[in-house]
Structure 1
Amino acid sequence: MKKNGAEALMQSMINQGIKYVFGLPGAKVDQLFDLLEYSQDPRTPKLIITHHEQNAAFIASGIGRLTGKPGVVATTSGPGVSNLATGLITATSEGDPVIALGGQVPRNDVARLTHQSIPSKELLAAATKDSVEVQDANNLSETFANAYQTAIAPKAGATFISLPKDVLDDTVDTPEIKPVTPVQQGSADAALIGQMAAKLKAAKLPVILAGMRSSSTAVTAAIHALLHRFSIPVVETFQGAGVISRDLEKDYFGRVGLFRNQIGDAILKESDLVIAVGYDPVEYEGRLWNVDRTGEIINLDSIAPEISNDYQPDLVIQADIAKTLTALSQSLPEMALSADMVAHLHQMQAHFVSQDAVPATTDGHGVHPLAIVRALQDQVNDDTTVTVDVGSHYIWMARHFRSYKPRHLLFSNGMQTLGVALPWAIAAALERPDQHVVSVAGDGGFLFSSQELETAVRLHLNIVQLIWNDGHYNMVQFQEQAKYGRDSGVNIGNVDFAKYAESFGATGLHAETPEQVTAALKQAFATDGPTVIDIPVDYRDNIKFASTLLKDVLN
């Protein structure tokens, strides 16, 4: 039985195990959308319509980050494709596998100045790992299979397929590609394992810097096994959040990102051997944490590192991270740091933990960030997924909120893209439906993607949306004040987000004191469907982010 291109593409998605397609309809892709909507095959991906193509791409990237398998977004031609750019470049920067499908005008119109004709492939080439335009319907399935493989290969990221309308209409004579077999890497060889072990044994203060590619289940388990054999400090990047489990909390020495004034920065500088595991410079450049260090660096990753004047590892190992760490653990005897070093680290950690204390504020200026973090920490469990948007709130969350499972606390720290939290929460609620998902945003970032509240309501997703509301783009504001003594261009007015939520059919709550935040969270976790909690936040302590922990702080 012959098929057309749209039918072959849908079957290709089925073959590769795609569960969802997010996007917006349009004339160039309506045949594909019709098939997805009315297919009788239970394996057909569920079509989920969003309110903006950028948000659809964010949801797809959330699927990619949570599962390690590509999320799929599909849009029509012209602006439908161009609206994908921010979502795809964020996914590519931050290592999240995505396949984007963009409608295109018929092939004989691509070079003409016709309705919605844009150079889609060329436009998105800079935002993706690979961008192609299909010229023959018989190539659709192999193009999709290659896009899938490219998206998940290290470093994971986005791929784009431009689909001329007449290609989707054409007859397909070739069979669809079968499920793609993941490309496997091997462990580092015995000689390299020996070099790693020798350096580790000789170091006085070895430290693991756990980066974005340390957050897979296999790599995290291998790190845990190593720490049970040799207890050493671990510093997480924002995307490495959750690598340290609750039973290994004694080895947790904070996260690094943005401003160089955290305990993680201090211990990295002091370390005579940093083992960078799955570290990507887009998370936190070497010029910020590797300043005036004299210690060595081992770079263990599935990809080759980017070499710069600020980052020149002494030993580079490109191999399967989990297999290599497992081999390293098996080659080591049980070891321990010196008693003096353990005492020193304990003192550093006690000071670090003391910074989580909630200050007493009763002057009506809003709820202190640490009070919000504490209330949320008390409400969630280790399996709760928390997505965090970009803004001042994400600095507080990254520094003070604990997470004990990888890919359960999500940040955008490569592109620092506003608007990701709610779309990522939608992805998490779809993939992890057994309990509530928490989305944390500022008022400015929330409004970037807040129209997807309707999507969450329509899908009846149990999402708790916290909005730290101060009427400003505060992350910019406090830095301007630190630099110039004044701010500019940051006032965005005030919105009653509880009423806003109710207009979408969600539950809306106000919480103006720490006690009310706690009560609102309890109510939200007991409520079916999305709940939005509007919290006036007191950001007066943000100026402390510009303070110096290290003398050579770079702001």
Structure 2
Amino acid sequence: MDAKTIIKPQTGADLVVQTLENRGVEYVFGIPGAKIDAVFNALVDSSIQTVVCRHEQNAAFIAGGIGRMTGKAGVALVTSGPGVSNLVTGLATANSEGDPVVALGGAVATAEALKQIHQTMDAVPLCKPITKFSAAVPAPEAVGEVVANAFRAAESGRPGAAFVSLPKDIMTASARGRLIVPPRFYGSGPADGQALAEAGKLIAAAENPVVVLGLLSSKPVNAAAICKFIEHNHLALVGTFQAAGAVGAHLLSNFGGRIGQLANQPADRLLDAADLVVTIGYDPVEYDPSLWNKGKDRPIIHIDAVPADLDNCYCPVVELTGDIAQTLDALTSLTGRPAKPPISQAILAEIRKQRELQVAEAAAKSGTPIHPLRLCYELQDFIGTDVTVCLDMGSFHLWLARYVYSFRARQILMTNGQQTLGVALPWGIAATLVRPSEKVLTISGDGGFLFSAMELETAVRLKSNVVHMIWIDGTYNMVGVQEVAKYGRESGVKLGPMDPVKYAEAFDATGMMINTPDEIIPTLKRAFDAQGPVIIGVNVDYSDNHKLFEEVHEGSFN
């Protein structure tokens, strides 16, 4: 070796990046700054693509989308102070939605942590309540340990968010620790044998068991096991919004529809009639048990990766904790109901008739602005197996969640945990990276769109083939409808006008408008034929939105 050759010592930042590479991370999303620039510098020499975002919250949203679609933690990287505090909503959303995310935040040097200097912030306690794991790297030799454990927390059990604070001096110091490689063989197995046997007895003895699918049901390996379990036992089922796509089209006759937020759906009638409820991958944040199980004296079987959060309205008699797919396979081998119960059959037959009438009614909606049902009708036919759909939050979300079906796990990404505005476009950017061969359609209201619309520039820079549809009515309608129901008037919901075509063109994207129902499909086809991001605006008739909130159980408004 040449005597003048200089061997660069491994720094804490180098070890962080090596850990990310070892975990198979392909993208890091974030915004740089002086307290974290050592990690950004180390990324230049790595296999990881750095994607600069326009806001840290959206970096966390994109990472959450990566996590939901791959099952592996997406990574956000931000600087100290407001860089970290801007992550909070994104991390809270990921944690509520069960999306694995690892967020790395810069920090002042350890010796300055208690001083009131530029961008000082005690970020670990800030992030602790809204993550599964929140810790600071205390010394150079601990870099690998802390980051590795953050990934383990984010991806294990019920997935969620993890946060690691990276002090500036530790990132530039020589790293004496080693790369922590996760075990080659790990994971939980099926639930306890005695619990499985008891669950089998309850299912066999029940007159009208009903299955409730939750967010972890839509994990592809779990969805496959669920389909076998449902078919084998001829069970009726309902699903929360986040469980979309967990069962295939061949089980549509068993499916009562989606439940969530408001207890006023046909699927709620099916669930009300159950004398045994089997929940799979369900978290109460998806649909409060007080809305569907208050005052009911019936057994519940809880099948999940983690134990249930017990409350007055949700107290399982049997808890099957472990790997969901393996547990369901074991339970399927212990059970075998011969036919669909008569009560469920009658309710499901009525629901099928309602669906047929709904489709006919939707197809006949020809006015302008365009009725949500007509949009749902057209989108149902348009969304094939090669389209990923990402939904924001708002009135449009309820229409689509109730009336547009999916039969592929995690094809439609929905939010109902924190009900965070602005998730759709960032999730769509994630989908274009994870599923580059698929069409990606994201949908928001005109209120939610501007929460993350600045990431249109990121989508243009990445040449993302994402089509974003904005349902326009000029208000925060979902809030307004509930205010009228409670107080007889609206407050604080009016918005000013925005021109989606001009907005798109200002970012060098393509802008389009849908003006009549007959233009919906032709416009979508033109949008997907275009290269790069496309924004589509459509004025929507929300005059029937009050029907979304009618005949609700007490306590449904929140």
Q: TM-score, normalised by structure 2?
A: 0.95
Residue 353 of structure 1, CA deviation: 4.4
Take 1:479 and 1:343, find their aligned partners in 2: how far apart are those partners?
Answer: 33
Aligned counterpart, 2:260: 257
Deviations 1:399-426 (A, max 9, x none): 0011111211111111000000000111
Equivalent residue for 2:144, pick from 137, 141, 144? 141
Q: 1:358 aligns with which of 337, 349, 362?
A: 362
**Contact preservation (8 Å) 1:215, 1:243:** yes
State which drifts further: 225-234 or 161-170.
Answer: 225-234
Q: Say whether the 8 Å CA contact 2:270–2:347 is kept in structure 1.
A: no
CA deviation after TM superposition for structure 1 residue 124, in Å: 1.2
Structure 1, 448-457 or 90-99: larger mean CA deviation: 90-99
In structure 2, the CA distance between the partners of 1:65 and 1:363, relative to structure 1 (3 Å rule), is closer
Mapped partners of 1:515, 1:542: distance in 2: 22
- Structure 2: gaps of 5 or more residues: 1-6
1:211 is aligned to 214
Residue of structure 1 aligned with 2:29, choices 15, 19, 22: 22
Equivalent residue letter for 2:487: Y
Instruction: Check the 8 A contact 2:204/2:337 in 1, yes or no.
Output: no
1:243-289 deviation digits (Å, cap 9, x = unpaired)? 11112111111111111100121111101111011110011111011
Secondary structure of 1:255's match? strand
Aligned match of 1:413? 416
- For residues 289-315 of structure 1, give each alpha carbon's deviation from its aligned partner in whole angstroms, at most 9, with x where no partner exists: 113334321111111101111111222
2:395·2:478 contact (CA, 8 Å) conserved in 1?
yes
Q: How far apart are residue 362 of structure 1 and its match?
A: 5.0
Larger CA deviation: 378-387 vs 535-544: 378-387
Confirm or deny: 8 A CA contact 1:391 1:473 kept in the other structure. Answer: yes
* Equivalent residue number for residue 407 of structure 2: 404
Offset at residue 341 of structure 1 (A):
4.7
Q: Contact between 1:18 and 1:71, CA under 8 Å: does it hold in 2? A: yes
CA distance in 2, matches of 1:501, 1:57: 23
Match of 2:124 in 1: 121
Query: What is the CA–CA distance in structure 2 between the aligned matches of 1:99 and 1:291, rounded to whole Å?
Result: 36
Pairwise mapping of residues 47-446 of structure 1 onto structure 2 (< 5 A)?
47-181=50-184, 183-333=186-336, 335-338=338-341, 341-356=344-359, 357-358=361-362, 360-362=364-366, 364=368, 366-446=369-449
Larger deviation, residues 473-482 vs 194-203: 194-203
Deviation at 1:170, TM superposition (A): 0.2
Range with greater deviation from structure 2 (524-533 or 534-543): 524-533
Post-superposition CA distance 1:406-449 (Å, at most 9, x none):
21111111100000000011111100000211101000001000
What is the aligned partner in structure 2 of residue 12 from structure 1?
A: 19
Q: Per-residue displacement from partner, 1:76-116 (whole Å, max 9, x unpaired)?
A: 11111110010011111221111111011111111101011
User: In 1, Cα distance between the equivalents of 2:425 and 2:212?
Assistant: 29
Read off the aligned partner of 1:354 and give its amino acid letter. Answer: L
Q: What's the CA shift for 1:359?
A: 6.3
Q: Give me the whole-angstrom Cα distance separating, in 1, the residues matched to 2:184 and 2:555.
A: 46
Q: 1: distance between equivalents of 2:103 and 2:398?
A: 31
Shift of 1:383: 3.5
Separation of aligned partners in 2, 1:30 and 1:341? 59
Asked whether the 8 Å contact 2:35–2:80 carries over to 1, the reply is yes
Compare 316-325 and 186-195 and name the one that shifted more. Answer: 186-195
Cα pair 1:379 1:522 within 8 Å, conserved? no
CA deviations on 1:491-532 (whole Å, 9 max, x unpaired) are 111101111011111110010111112211111121121111
State the secondary structure of the residue aligned to 1:267. helix
| Gapped regions of structure 1 (runs ≥ 5) | none
User: 1:473, CA displacement in angstroms?
Assistant: 0.5
2:258 aligned counterpart, secondary structure: strand
Counterparts of 1:311 and 1:343, CA distance in 2: 27
- Could you give the per-residue CA deviations for residues 445-502 of structure 1, whole angstroms, max 9, x where no partner exists? 0100001011111111111101000111011011112222221110111101111011
**Structure 1 residue identity aligned to 2:22:** N
Residue 361 of structure 1 and its aligned partner are, at CA, apart by 4.5
Q: Summarize the Cα distance change of 1:544–1:334 in structure 2 as closer, same or farther, 3 Å threshold.
A: closer
Structure-2 separation of matches of 1:458 and 1:363 = 38
Match of 1:511 in 2: 514
Whole-Å separation in 1 of the counterparts to 2:343 and 2:305 = 35
| CA deviation after TM superposition for structure 1 residue 127, in Å | 1.8
8 Å Cα contact 1:437-1:463 kept in structure 2: yes
**Aligned residues of 2:75 and 2:102 also touching (Cα < 8 A):** yes
> More displaced, 446-455 or 173-182?
173-182
Structure 1 distance, partners of 2:122, 2:474, is 39
Corresponding residue number in structure 2 for 1:479: 482
Instruction: Give the whole-Å Cα distance in 1 for the aligned partners of 2:341 and 2:416.
Output: 35
Q: Report percent identity of matched pairs.
A: 43
Residue from 26, 33, 40 that aligns with 2:40: 33
The 1:341/1:10 distance shift into structure 2, 3 A limit, reads closer
- Report the 3-state secondary structure (helix = DSSP H, G, I; strand = E; otherwise coil) of the residue aligned with 1:126: helix
Question: Which residue of structure 2 aligns with residue 536 of structure 1?
Answer: 539
Alignment-mate amino acid for residue 358 of structure 1:
A
- SS of the residue 1:48 aligns to: strand
Structure 1 partner of 2:10: 3
AA partner of residue 300 (structure 1): I
Pair 554,25 (structure 1): closer, same or farther in 2 beyond 3 Å: closer
Give me the whole-angstrom Cα distance separating, in 2, the residues matched to 1:341 and 1:333.
17
Aligned equivalents of 2:454 and 2:533: distance in 1? Answer: 13
Shift of 1:377: 1.7
2:4 is matched with none
- Provide the alpha-carbon RMSD of the alignment: 1.7
Partner-residue secondary structure (3-state), 1:533? strand
Hey, what does 2:460 align to over in structure 1? 457
Mapped partners of 1:179, 1:189: distance in 2: 26
- Tell me the distance in 1 between the aligned counterparts of 2:342 and 2:167: 67
Are the structure 2 counterparts of residues 344 and 157 from structure 1 closer, same or farther at C-alpha, using a change threshold of 3 Å?
Answer: closer
Q: Give the direction of change, closer, same or farther, for the CA distance of 1:360–1:351 in structure 2 (3 Å limit).
A: closer
Question: How far apart, in 2, do the equivalents of 1:94 and 1:509 lie?
Answer: 32
Specify the code of the residue in structure 2 equivalent to 1:524: A
TM-score (norm 1): 0.96
CA contact (8 A) 2:36 2:79 kept: yes
